[in-house]
A and B are shown apart, each in its own frame.
Chain A
Amino acid sequence: MSKFFVTWGLLLSMGAQAAPWVFDKPIAVSGAAQEGVYTHLEAAGRKSIAVSDGWVAVSWEDNRDGLSRAYVAKKAPSAATFGNILQLSGKGEVTEPAIIGIGGGQFVAGWEEEGHVMVRMIASSALGEPLQISSAEAAQLSLATDRAGGIIAVWSEHAGKYWQIRHARLQAGNRLRLKLLSQGDVATAEKGDQAYPAVAVLEGGQYVVAGWEDRSKGNTRILYAVSRDAGKQFGSPQELNEYKWRGEGHAYGNNTGTGAMRVALAAMGETGMVAVWADKRDFESGYDVYAALADAKNLKFGNNEKVQDEFGNNIAQWHPAIAADGNGHIVSVWDDDRDGTPDLWLAWRKADGSWAENLAVPGASGAGVQSDPAIVLDDGGNLHLAFVEKVSLNSPSHVIYVSGKLQAGSK
Chain B
Amino acid sequence: MINKFMILVLSLLVLGRAWAEAPPNYPFIAFDEGLKQAKAQHKPIFLYFGRFGCAWCDEVNKKSFSDAALRERYIKDFVLVYVDAESGKKLRLPSGERITEANLGVRYKAFGTPMFLYLDEDGKELARIPGIQSVQDFQQYDRYVSEGHYKTQTLGQFLKGGK
Does B143 reach chain A (CB closer than 8 Å)?
A: no
Contacts of B97 in A (CB 8 A): 38, 63, 394
Does A161 reach chain B (CB closer than 8 Å)?
A: yes
Kindly report which residue of chain A lies nearest to residue B111, judged by CB atoms. A286
Does B163 reach chain A (CB closer than 8 Å)?
A: no
On whether A220 and B86 interact (CB within 8 A), knowing A40-B99, A63-B97, A158-B15, the answer reads: yes
A68 to B92, CA, bound (A): 11
A192 to B87, CA, bound (A): 13
State whether B109 touches A316 (Cβ < 8 A).
yes
User: Contact string, A210-221, partner B, CB cutoff 8 A, digits 1/0?
Assistant: 000101001110
Does A301 reach chain B (CB closer than 8 Å)?
A: no
On whether A254 and B58 interact (CB within 8 A), knowing A63-B96, A215-B18, A394-B93, the answer reads: yes
On whether A252 and B56 interact (CB within 8 A), knowing A285-B111, A394-B107, the answer reads: yes
Interface hit among B46-54, B67-75, B133-141: B46-54
Q: Which of A68, A220, A394 contacts B53 (CB 8 A)?
A: A220
State whether A219 touches B52 (Cβ < 8 A).
yes
The 4 closest A-B pairs by CB, nearest first: A219-B53, A253-B58, A286-B111, A255-B55
Measured CB to CB, the closest approach of chain B to A48, in angstroms, equals 15
Measured CB to CB, the closest approach of chain A to B87, in angstroms, equals 8
Does A207 reach chain B (CB closer than 8 Å)?
A: no
B residues 66-113 touching A (CB-CB < 8 Å): 86, 88, 90, 93, 95-100, 102, 106-107, 109, 111-112
State whether A394 touches B98 (Cβ < 8 A).
no
Q: Which of B14, B57, B95 contacts A394 (CB 8 A)?
A: B95
State whether B55 touches A249 (Cβ < 8 A).
yes
Does A196 reach chain B (CB closer than 8 Å)?
A: yes
A residues 109-150 touching B (CB-CB < 8 Å): 139-140
Question: What are 11 of the A-B contact pairs (CB < 8 Å)?
Answer: A36-B95, A38-B95, A63-B98, A93-B98, A163-B17, A220-B51, A249-B56, A252-B56, A253-B55, A393-B106, A394-B97
Does A195 reach chain B (CB closer than 8 Å)?
A: yes
Residue with the greatest number of chain A CB neighbours at <10 A, chosen from B59, B98, B100, B109: B98
Contacts of B54 in A (CB 8 A): 253, 259
B residues 31-71 touching A (CB-CB < 8 Å): 51-59, 61-62
Does A339 reach chain B (CB closer than 8 Å)?
A: no
Contacts of B62 in A (CB 8 A): 253
Contacts of A93 in B (CB 8 A): 98
Q: Mostly helix, strand, loop or mixed at chain A's interface?
A: loop
Measured CB to CB, the closest approach of chain B to A345, in angstroms, equals 15
A213 to B102, CA, bound (A): 14
State whether A162 touches B18 (Cβ < 8 A).
yes
Kindly report which residue of chain A lies nearest to residue B61, judged by CB atoms. A253
Does A8 reach chain B (CB closer than 8 Å)?
A: no
A residues near B (Cβ < 8 Å) are 36, 38, 40, 42, 63, 68, 93, 95, 139-140, 158, 161-163, 192-193, 195-196, 213, 215, 218-220, 245, 249, 252-257, 259, 261-262, 280, 283-287, 316, 318, 371, 393-394
A287 to B102, CA, bound (A): 12
A249 to B56, CA, bound (A): 8
A256 to B57, CA, bound (A): 13
Measured CB to CB, the closest approach of chain B to A295, in angstroms, equals 30
Contacts of A162 in B (CB 8 A): 18
On whether A259 and B53 interact (CB within 8 A), knowing A38-B95, A252-B59, A253-B58, the answer reads: yes
Contacts of A249 in B (CB 8 A): 55-56
State whether A283 touches B112 (Cβ < 8 A).
yes
B residues 98-133 touching A (CB-CB < 8 Å): 98-100, 102, 106-107, 109, 111-112, 132
Kindly report which residue of chain A lies nearest to residue B130, judged by CB atoms. A284
State whether A42 touches B53 (Cβ < 8 A).
no
A283 to B54, CA, bound (A): 10
Q: Which of A95, A195, A252, A261 contacts B55 (CB 8 A)?
A: A252
Contacts of B51 in A (CB 8 A): 220, 259, 280
State whether B52 touches A139 (Cβ < 8 A).
no
Measured CB to CB, the closest approach of chain B to A343, in angstroms, equals 14
On whether A42 and B100 interact (CB within 8 A), knowing A163-B17, A219-B52, A318-B106, the answer reads: yes
On whether A215 and B55 interact (CB within 8 A), knowing A63-B96, A193-B18, A316-B111, the answer reads: no
Contacts of B53 in A (CB 8 A): 215, 218-220, 256-257, 259
State whether A95 touches B107 (Cβ < 8 A).
no
State whether A95 touches B90 (Cβ < 8 A).
yes
State whether A286 touches B88 (Cβ < 8 A).
no
Q: Which of B18, B86, B109, B111 contacts A261 (CB 8 A)?
A: B86
Contacts of A316 in B (CB 8 A): 109, 111
Measured CB to CB, the closest approach of chain B to A389, in angstroms, equals 15
